[in-house]
Amino acid sequence: MNLKYDVVVVGSGPAGSVTARFASEGGAKVLVIERRSEVGVPVLCGEGISRKIDGWDMLQGKRWMAGKMDGARIYSPDRTCVTLSADQAGNETGYVIYRDIFDQELARRAIKAGAEFMMNTKATGIIKEGGKIKGVKAQHFDEELEIECKIVVAADGVDSKIAQWAGVKTRLDPKDLETCCQYTLTDIDVKDAYCEFYLGKEIAPGGYIWVFPKGKRIANVGIGILASLSESGMAKKLLDRFIENDPRLSKGKNLRFLAGAVPVSNPAEQTVADNLVLVGDAARHVDPITGGGLTHCLEGGKIAGNVIAKAIKKKDYSAELLSEYEKGWKEAFGQKIKRNYLVKEMMLNMDDKTFDKLAHALEKVKFDEISTHGLVKEVAKHLPISTKLNALIKHRKEIKEIKKK
Amino acid sequence: MAKPKAKVDNKKCLACCGCISVCPQDAISWIGNKARVDPGKCISCAICIRTCPVGAISGDVQ
Annotate chain B with three-state secondary structure. CCCCEEEECCCCCCCCCHHHHHCCCCCEEEECCEEEECCCCCCCCCHHHHHCCCCCEEEECC
Residue A154 lies in a domain: yes
- Cα–Cα distance, A360 to A354 (Å, whole number): 10
Q: In this structure, is residue A82 part of a structural domain?
A: no
Q: Which residues pair with A122 in a beta bridge?
A: A139
Q: What CATH topology corresponds to B5-60?
A: Alpha-Beta Plaits (3.30.70)
Pick the closest to residue B45 from A171, A267, A345, A164 (CA basis).
A171
A203–B contact, CB cutoff 8 A? no
CB contact under 8 A, A171 and B33: no
Q: Which CATH number goes with the domain that contains A304?
A: 3.50.50.60
Residue A299 sits at φ, ψ, to 5 deg, of -65, -50
Q: Is residue A258 part of a domain?
A: no
Q: Is A89 on the interface with B (CB under 8 A)?
A: no
- Contact predicate B6/B48, CB 8 Å: yes
Q: What is the pLDDT of residue B5?
A: 96
| Cα(A70)–Cα(A83) distance, integer angstroms | 11
Distance CA A15, CA A18 (A): 5
The Cα A317–Cα A334 span in angstroms is 23
| Closest CB from B22, B23, B49 relative to A232 | B49
Rounded to an integer, what distance in angstroms lies between the CA atom of residue A248 and that of residue A77? Answer: 18
SS3 A23: helix
Whether A234 is in a domain gets the answer no
Longest Cα–Cα distance in chain B? 32
Distance of CA A49 to the CA centre of its chain: 10
Chain B nearest-CA distance from A282, in A, is 10
- DSSP state, A283? G
Question: In this structure, is residue A226 part of a structural domain?
Answer: no
- Mutation site, A38, A159, A165, interface B, largest B CB count within 10 A: A159
Contacts of B37 in chain A (CB under 8 A): none
Query: SS3 for A127?
Result: strand
Reported ipTM? 0.96
Nearest to B13 by CA among B55, B46, B58, B61: B55
List, for chain A, all residue ranges whose pLDDT scores fall below the cut of 50.
90
d(CA A355, CA A128): 51
The span from the CA of B6 to the CA of B48, in Å, is 8
Q: Distance between CA atoms of A200 and A154, rounded to whole angstroms?
A: 35
Nearest to A26 by CA among A291, A230, A301, A334: A301
Per-residue pLDDT tens digits for A181-237: 999 999 999 989 999 999 999 999 999 999 999 998 999 999 999 999 999 999 999
Q: Is residue A227 part of a domain?
A: no
Exposure letters A119-153 (e unless 16+ CB within 10 A, then b)? eebbbeebeeeeeebbbbebbbeeeebebebbbbb
Q: H-helix or E-strand containing A136? A: strand A132-140
Q: Could you tell me the pTM of the whole model?
A: 0.93
pLDDT for A368: 61
Question: How many structural domains is chain A composed of?
Answer: 1
pLDDT at A120: 97
Better pLDDT: B14 or A394: B14
Q: Which helix (H) or strand (E) holds A387?
A: helix A385-404
Question: Whole domain around residue A296: which residue ranges?
Answer: 2-58+99-171+268-333
Longest Cα–Cα distance of chain A, Å, equals 65
Is the residue at A290 inside a domain? yes
Q: What's the pLDDT tens digit per position in A57-115?
A: 999 889 999 999 988 999 999 999 998 877 665 456 789 999 999 999 999 999 999 99
Q: Measure CB to CB from residue A171 to each of B24, B30, B58 and give the nearest one.
A: B24
